[in-house]
Amino acid sequence: MIEAELKARVRAPEAVARALEERAEGRSETYQDTYYDRPDGSLRARDEELRLRFVVDHRTGDRRALLTFKAAAVDAASGSKPEYETRVEDSQITHAILEHLGHVPAIVFEKRCRSHAFEAYGRQMRATLVRVPELDGTFLEIETLVQGESEVGAALHDIRAVLAELGVALEDLTRELYTDAVAAARRAEPHT
């Protein structure tokens, strides 16, 4: 499956949050993300991502761990990637397996998310408002899954239509990765 996705910086997060709540009830979660790479940075060099995510659902208290691999982008403009994700029973064992396979944690950070699942333009979509404590502002990710590369363009067209309905302008789209933004913010921190 390919995750067709667009991400934008949100200028009016409260208005977008209200519009999303009108579409579907949101779910608040905190993600603790650990991104792995080879010591030589070869995953990043190939535009691939390997992530272990620990999720806490604020409403139910449910905790789960997900292992995700994203292959290189199939659409340069959006960064949409083939994605393979599975729930894992024990995140500590998964971490140990990854390390024994030669992967090392490259960066760890937290995301505070409110996700809304809904149907639009005949597609199942998920829109997530994201705050990363180390970054300024609020982000909006809208995604839908498609079977093949030939479907990505049409899916992105539909996502752009939903963004417009939510009042998010196309010039607010960004391809900046959270991993890069958090790393840059940490480098810019004054050292005491």
CATH label of the domain that carries residue 183:
2.40.320.10
Which single residue is written with the structure tokens 């913010």? 185
Per-residue pLDDT of the chain (192 residues; tens, 9 = 90+): 999 999 999 999 999 999 999 999 999 999 999 999 999 999 999 999 999 999 999 999 999 999 999 999 999 999 999 999 999 999 999 999 999 999 999 999 999 999 999 999 999 999 999 999 999 999 999 999 999 999 999 999 999 999 999 999 999 999 999 999 999 999 998 765
pLDDT, position 190: 78
**184 with 24: CB under 8 angstroms?**
no
pLDDT, position 189: 84
pLDDT, position 186: 95
What domain range is 116 assigned to? 2-188
Task: Tally the domains of the chain.
Answer: 1
Distance between first and last Cα of the chain: 46
pLDDT, position 145: 96
- Rounded distance between C-alpha atoms, residue 68 and residue 51, angstroms: 5
Exposed/middle/buried for residue 13 (C-beta within 10 Å: 0-12, 13-18, 19+)? middle
